Chain A
Amino acid sequence: MHLEEIIQKLDLKVLTNPVDFSAITVSSGYCSDLLSCVMTGAEPDGLWITLMAHGNIVAVAALLDLAAIIITENAQPDDDTIEKANEKEVILLSTKASNYHLIGQLWELGLRATQS
């Protein structure tokens, strides 16, 4: 599934600089608000759903080569975090939906959990 389709169907706000989202393939989904769990649980090219907006999320996503982070419940990362995400080419998306709601929608679109 391409990120473009997810952004459009779920009406996500793009917080970082726009890129060609149709060229980005999303392989799986993962959700946690505890960064230590994400570091061992999320998979490369996966989509991470969280309401954590702390700047450390960028480093975690860059480390794991995630396709994008969707920040839920309108949690707002600060400007430094968005700037760092642009620098590290990490895509930050935002929605007012909750983790639960968003994951339900992603599942309906056919995106499944990580393999491990």
Chain B
Amino acid sequence: MIPPLIVQAAVEHGLNLIAISDHNASDNVSAVIEAAEGSDLTVLPGMELQTQEDVHVLCLFDTLEQLLKFQSLVDENLPDIENNSELFGEQFVVDKTGDFLKRKKQLLITSTGLSFNKAFHAVTDLGGLFIPAHVNRKMFGLFYHLGFVPPDLPIEALELSRHITITEAWKQYPQTQNYPLIQSGDVHYLDDFLGANQFFIKNPTISELKLALRNEEGRHFSVCQPS
């Protein structure tokens, strides 16, 4: 999973928009953005945040600056524990060619001290998009941990894992009927591409993605199966 190979694999799958969303981290995002320069691929800066309640959330931004601001808040809320690479694997930071730059010391696999609601406001105040991820899963899914989507937060969309169909989700978690549902590729390895969401938008920006999720101004989206 080095930047040039990520770009190559995305292009081969016919994608022109991806997001890099590492767990509580953003150190490798700029390398992938740089690796995609000159290609038709747009890379959105993102993060998979693990909230205080152990809920995973996809946080997407337009710019690296926004992401880095969010990262500093996340860093303040990560416990001061060093990674044990034997237990949790390596946490490498690489450059755009995939060359090793450093090891990230701070343990990233854990939950942050940021509550779900605080994180929602932090992401949206920065202009980002906050999408609870794989909400149907027992591990780190919103429904298991929080019981239901907090009704007082204007959440734009929910993401389902590929373990469930949208109609099954509507049955099992009726609240999903009230939200736009996406099913992302969730690519952890180059060869486990699980599919994509197709967005009909003018530009690859957060505001356009929001319009598509809301089915407004001619923008729309659909969930695609892997080809």
Is A62 interfacial (CB-CB < 8 Å)?
Answer: no
4 nearest CB pairs, A to B: A35-B147, A36-B144, A56-B146, A36-B147
Which residues from A are CB-within-8-Å of B70? none
Which residues from B are CB-within-8-Å of A53? 52, 115
Task: Say whether A55 contacts B117, CB under 8 Å.
Answer: yes
Task: Say whether B147 contacts A78, CB under 8 Å.
Answer: no
The number of residues on chain B lying at the interface, defined by a beta carbon within 8 Å of a beta carbon of chain A, is 14
Is B143 interfacial (CB-CB < 8 Å)?
Answer: yes
Is B168 interfacial (CB-CB < 8 Å)?
Answer: no
Would you give the 0/1 interface string for A46-84, flagging 1 where the beta carbon is closer than 8 Å to chain B? 000000111110011000000000000000001010000
Closest to B173 in A: A36
Would you give the 0/1 interface string for B36-80, flagging 1 where the beta carbon is closer than 8 Å to chain A? 000000000000000011000000000000000000000000000
Task: Say whether A39 contacts B117, CB under 8 Å.
Answer: no
Would you give the 0/1 interface string for B118-146, flagging 1 where the beta carbon is closer than 8 Å to chain A? 10000000000000000000000001111
Is B152 interfacial (CB-CB < 8 Å)?
Answer: yes
Chain A contacts to B: CB under 8 angstroms:
33-36, 38-39, 52-56, 59-60, 78, 80
Which residues from B are CB-within-8-Å of A38? 147
CA distance A18 to B117 in the complex (A): 26
Task: Say whether A56 contacts B115, CB under 8 Å.
Answer: no
Task: Say whether B144 contacts A56, CB under 8 Å.
Answer: no
Would you give the 0/1 interface string for B185-225, flagging 1 where the beta carbon is closer than 8 Å to chain A? 00000000000000000000000000000000000000000
Task: Say whether A56 contacts B143, CB under 8 Å.
Answer: no
Which residues from A are CB-within-8-Å of B116? 54
Task: Say whether A36 contacts B117, CB under 8 Å.
Answer: no
Is B148 interfacial (CB-CB < 8 Å)?
Answer: yes
Chain A proximity of B152: nearest CB distance (Å): 7
Which residues from A are CB-within-8-Å of B14? none
Chain A proximity of B212: nearest CB distance (Å): 28
Of the listed residues A35, A38, A59, A78, the one surrounded by the most CB atoms of chain B closer than 10 A to its CB is A35
Is B174 interfacial (CB-CB < 8 Å)?
Answer: no
CA distance A53 to B51 in the complex (A): 12
Do A59 and B145 contact each other (CB < 8 Å), given the known contacts A54-B115, A54-B117, A78-B115?
A: no
